[in-house]
Chains A and B, each alone.
Chain A
Amino acid sequence: DGGITQSPKYLFRKEGQNVTLSCEQNLNHDAMYWYRQDPGQGLRLIYYSQIVNDFQKGDIAEGYSVSREKKESFPLTVTSAQKNPTAFYLCASSIGKSRSYEQYFGPGTRLTVT
């Protein structure tokens, strides 16, 4: 079955540590996205990538970094510079260059930093 895999489902880290969240898709989609979800805040875009080796900042990119070395993979690193990293992180993908294409979401990773 095609879909998006995010691992792990739950992640715990100490403050000051960088952490990388995995996102893999086998849908052959060109575009991939990272969102952050906080209670009552909806989804906010962190980064997105339209093609391999290219990505753009979203609305809340500060304290995060990404890479897109392969079409299937779009890992997100939460750095120690992110002031409030505890949140639910969602990865998504879409076919590509049309705003009419729906986004498909992974199951999410819940990150807790203490």
Chain B
Amino acid sequence: AQSVTQLDSQVPVFEEAPVELRCNYSSSVSVYLFWYVQYPNQGLQLLLKYLSGSTLVKGINGFEAEFNKSQTSFHLRKPSVHISDTAEYFCAVSENSGYALNFGKGTSLLVTP
């Protein structure tokens, strides 16, 4: 069985500062990894995904993530955040057992001026 741990439930950051949202997973098999963003009272939107190949993945809105197999991590980064990045961010893992995703509990990013 796999699990996804998002290490920070809330991350406050000032506008134009860099940010890292941490995600660790546990799995005994190969996995696919995803980051989603959720704005208040809305559905989830895919930011980026890692399937194979380069461990540095670039996504939308200037976000990127790095897959580290030895540390079983998939941390999300942005070099300079905007107020509009304020949202809930979810890390998700898909294992070989099927179609469903296992989600972390989310990290609330709050960007202030």
Chain A residue numbers with a CB within 8 Å of B98 are: 99
Which of A4, A43, A105 has the most chain B CB within a 10 Å cutoff? A43
| Closest chain B residue to A96, Cβ basis | B99
A90 in contact with B44 (CB, 8 Å): yes
Is B84 at the interface (CB under 8 A from chain A)? no
Q: How many A-B residue pairs have CB under 8 A?
A: 62
Is A2 at the interface (CB under 8 A from chain B)? no
A interface, over-half SS:
strand
Is B71 at the interface (CB under 8 A from chain A)? no
B interface, over-half SS:
loop
How many chain A residues touch B (CB < 8 A): the figure is: 30
CB-defined A-B contacts under 8 Å, sample of 26: A6-B43, A40-B106, A42-B104, A43-B44, A43-B90, A44-B103, A45-B100, A48-B99, A50-B99, A58-B100, A90-B43, A90-B44, A92-B44, A99-B94, A99-B95, A99-B96, A99-B99, A100-B32, A100-B49, A102-B34, A102-B46, A102-B49, A105-B36, A105-B44, A107-B43, A108-B43
